Chain A
Amino acid sequence: GNSVTQMEGPVTLSEEAFLTINCTYTATGYPSLFWYVQYPGEGLQLLLKATKADDKGSNKGFEATYRKETTSFHLEKGSVQVSDSAVYFCALSDDYKLSFGAGTTVTVRA
């Protein structure tokens, strides 16, 4: 079946550092890909999405490009802030549901 693997955390960065969270997937067909973010004490929020190969999703300074040749959807941000501290989940559409990665905890220090 379809599955998602994302880099393990936790990741700790200083403010204004560059953030990359790796995500690779295994899928049949052409799934849509998503990044969700979960801030402390809250549910998940959609951060960005891409629906086909070479699409780039972007939001709040975050970007991810759907790479079919490497089956990847890595999340990047050029300059993180303390407010970006959260758990990040990569997910793919899998027939009737979403399949999620295990989540990566990111902590940004001032």
Chain B
Amino acid sequence: DVKVTQSSRYLVKRTGEKVFLECVQDMDHENMFWYRQDPGLGLRLIYFSYDVKMKEKGDIPEGYSVSREKKERFSLILESASTNQTSMYLCASSWGVLGAQPQHFGDGTRLSIL
């Protein structure tokens, strides 16, 4: 089974801090994704990556950046955290052609910005 592991289940940070969310997958997938999940809005794509060192903006990239130095690891960075970034963050991975294959999700990180 594919395993996508997010480093923290719960995280509390302060406004203005730089926040790192880490995600590791163990199935050698080419593609990795970061979403945020908010009630009534479903999942919204922040950034994705289709290869090492490659990254593309999703639908809501403002205030975020990402890093993919190794194939198995995809990090989400909140450059200067704000209260409107309080949310559930989900990492996912998939293989093959982007969009054609199902994505495998981690358990999520619930981030609170105070």
B69 within 8 A of A: no
Q: Across the interface, do A43 and B99 meet the contact criterion of CB distance under 8 Å?
A: no
A93 within 8 A of B: yes
Q: Across the interface, do A97 and B58 meet the contact criterion of CB distance under 8 Å?
A: yes
By a CB distance below 8 angstroms, the chain B residues around A102 are 40-42
Q: Interface segment, B11-19, B60-68, B71-79, B103-111?
A: B103-111
Q: Interface segment, A44-52, A61-69, A74-82?
A: A44-52
Q: Across the interface, do A100 and B42 meet the contact criterion of CB distance under 8 Å?
A: yes
B56 within 8 A of A: yes
Contacting B90 at CB < 8 Å: which of A31, A43, A46?
A: A43
By a CB distance below 8 angstroms, the chain B residues around A41 are 107
In the assembled complex, how far is the CB of residue A40 from the closest CB belonging to chain B, in whole angstroms?
11
What CA separation (Å) do A101 and B58 show in the bound complex?
16
Interface size grouping (class) on chain A: 20 to 34
Q: Across the interface, do A45 and B105 meet the contact criterion of CB distance under 8 Å?
A: yes
Contacting A97 at CB < 8 Å: which of B40, B41, B42, B98?
A: B98
Within 8 A of B (CB), among A58-110: 89, 93-98, 100-103
Interface SS majority for chain A = strand
**Of A34, A42, A98, most B-chain CB atoms within 10 Å:** A98
Q: Across the interface, do A93 and B100 meet the contact criterion of CB distance under 8 Å?
A: yes
Q: Across the interface, do B105 and A44 meet the contact criterion of CB distance under 8 Å?
A: yes
Q: Across the interface, do A96 and B102 meet the contact criterion of CB distance under 8 Å?
A: no
Q: In the complex, which residue of chain A has the Cβ closest to the Cβ of B6?
A: A43
Q: In the complex, which residue of chain A has the Cβ closest to the Cβ of B94?
A: A98
By a CB distance below 8 angstroms, the chain A residues around B50 are 96
On A, residues with C-beta under 8 Å from B are 31-32, 34, 36, 41-46, 49, 89, 93-98, 100-103
On B, residues with C-beta under 8 Å from A are 4, 33, 40-43, 45, 48, 50, 56, 58, 90, 92, 98-100, 102-108
A–B Cβ pairs within 8 angstroms, 21 of them: A34-B102, A42-B107, A43-B4, A43-B90, A43-B107, A44-B90, A44-B103, A45-B105, A46-B104, A49-B102, A89-B43, A95-B99, A96-B48, A96-B50, A97-B45, A97-B99, A100-B42, A100-B43, A102-B41, A102-B42, A103-B42
